[in-house]
């Protein structure tokens, strides 16, 4: 388990590089809520947007997840707990006024960046209108 990356994966780095190139700044692997012991891959604090780039295996992608052959009970249960934790995180952040954006590692980086940039600009404009 030590060798498994929980941050700075290739999909994360690519998306971050593209978002940064579009002029947006963010926090890396930060806690959106101080009392919540969970970190988002990218956090845009002023606009309250948390971005997660989920790995297909560890987060149970409906398209790509395959149950392991060795010790399937343990690993399948672990993935199920990860999914439940993700849903709980989404719920807590949403209830606190945050917008949660989740992407799978296999999704097109350009499409992810387009959605992220659009959400940040939209939220910035709505904050300015107040």
pTM beyond 0.85, yes or no:
yes
The domains found in the chain, sorted by start residue, are: 10-129 (3.40.960.10)
| Helical spans, DSSP H, in 51-129 | 72-95, 109-129
CA angle 112, 116, 122 (to 5 degrees): 145
Tens-binned pLDDT, residue by residue, of the chain (130 aa): 555 667 889 999 999 999 999 999 999 999 999 999 999 999 999 999 999 999 998 899 989 888 888 888 898 999 999 999 999 999 999 999 999 999 999 999 999 999 999 999 999 998 888 7
Query: Could you give the CA distance from residue 109 to residue 44 in angstroms, rounded to a whole number?
Result: 18
């Amino acid at each position: 388990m030590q060798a498994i990356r929980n941050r700075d994966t290739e999909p994360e780095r690519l998306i971050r590089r593209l978002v940064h190139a579009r002029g947006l700044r963010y926090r890396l692997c930060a806690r959106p809520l101080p009392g919540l012991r969970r970190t988002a891959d990218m956090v845009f604090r002023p606009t309250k947007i948390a971005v997660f780039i989920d790995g297909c295996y560890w987060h149970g992608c409906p398209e790509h997840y395959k149950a392991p052959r060795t010790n399937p009970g343990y690993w399948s249960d672990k993935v199920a707990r990860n999914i439940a934790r993700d849903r709980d995180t989404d719920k807590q952040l949403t209830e606190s006024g945050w917008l949660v954006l989740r992407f799978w590692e296999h999704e097109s980086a350009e499409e992810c960046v387009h959605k992220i940039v659009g959400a940040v600009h939209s939220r910035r404009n709505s904050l300015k209108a107040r």
